[in-house]
Amino acid sequence: MEFSWFAGDAGPAERAVARLTSRKPLAVPAFVALTLCFSMAMLERAGAAEPAANVDANRIAAPEAANWPSYGRAYNEQRFSPLSRINADNAPRLGLAWYADLDSDRGQEGTPLEIDGVLYVPIAWSIVKAFDAKTGALLWSYDPAVPRALGVNGCCDVNTRGLAAWKGKIFVATFDGRLVALDARTGKPVWSVMTVDPAKPYTITQAPRVVKGRVLIGNSGGEYGVRGYISAYDAETGTLAWRFYTVPGDPSLPFENQAMAEAAKTWDGEWWKSGGGGVV
């Protein structure tokens, strides 16, 4: 599997994105096409003294045009880039500037982040790679070493669909249920927490989100009988702040919170009427 980037014809920053040529157009892989909108003026901030991935709520709510700091780009997740240098007229002339081998032939369904000239790319098996967006040089690679035998727990391959960034950290949720904070400059783990019961067939392929300094993550596995929930962890320490179950639990146990008790008023059927539906 290869990941590609393009170089541009207008302005020093945009030459890092797309090279427009008069030669025969090159085929643009679907995965690469997604990255085209990430950045054409991204190198304006390159070399600055500020920390890597220095992302806060303001930068996610209203991203600079050159950046893609969150899954879906901003909190509204419209996936719309305001950049306009690449358009319907010149897109057929885009040419390859560099590519990188992702070292896997498994599914690749992740949205990269682009922050201040660095591409943070999620890869199958929850691997994360950081590339210099101008040159394609590999800056670092992190492999959480997900046990390959656990792949059987996934309904739809071992994809990693996205990452989150916040104040110098890159967050990845691993296929086997961990949430890991990485140093955005080095790729070294800062903290790691197990967010699920590893004895049950939980998986995580989704992208985390960060809101008000808390990293939000859910999980998958409902088709195998596990109970889904959303957890919030402190972005600095990895401490669990709260957890909300999205489906009922054991009806013989009390509700774990008032929100679940209120939700139960909308349920129908006999299974829950004998008790609460709390944690299992």
Is the CB of residue 210 less than 8 Å from the CB of residue 216?
A: yes
Higher pLDDT, 109 or 45: 109
Instruction: Tell me 203's DSSP state.
Output: B
Counting the structural domains of the chain, the total is 2
Does one domain contain both 270 and 236? Answer: no
The pLDDT value recorded for residue 253 is: 84
* Cα separation values, 141 from 102, 122, 209, Å: 10, 10, 21
Q: What is the pTM of this model?
A: 0.79
User: What is the band of 220 on the pLDDT scale with cuts at 50, 70, 90?
Assistant: very high
The CATH number covering residue 61 comes to 2.140.10.10
Cα(189)–Cα(179) distance, rounded to whole angstroms?
Answer: 10
Judge if 134 and 243 occupy the same domain: yes
Judge if 201 and 277 occupy the same domain.
Answer: no
CB 127 within 8 A of CB 143: yes
What is the tens place of the pLDDT at every residue in 240-249? 999 988 887 7
On whether both 225 and 166 belong to a single domain, the answer is yes
At 274, is the pLDDT very low, low, confident or very high (cuts 50, 70, 90)? very low
Of the candidates 105, 219, 109, the one whose C-alpha atom is nearest the C-alpha of residue 161 is 109
115 shares a domain with 68: yes
On average, the pLDDT of the chain sits at 82
pLDDT at position 179: 98
Amino acid found at 104 = S
Give me the pLDDT at residue 15, please: 39
* Domain housing 268: 251-280
Question: What average pLDDT does the segment 157-161 reach?
Answer: 91
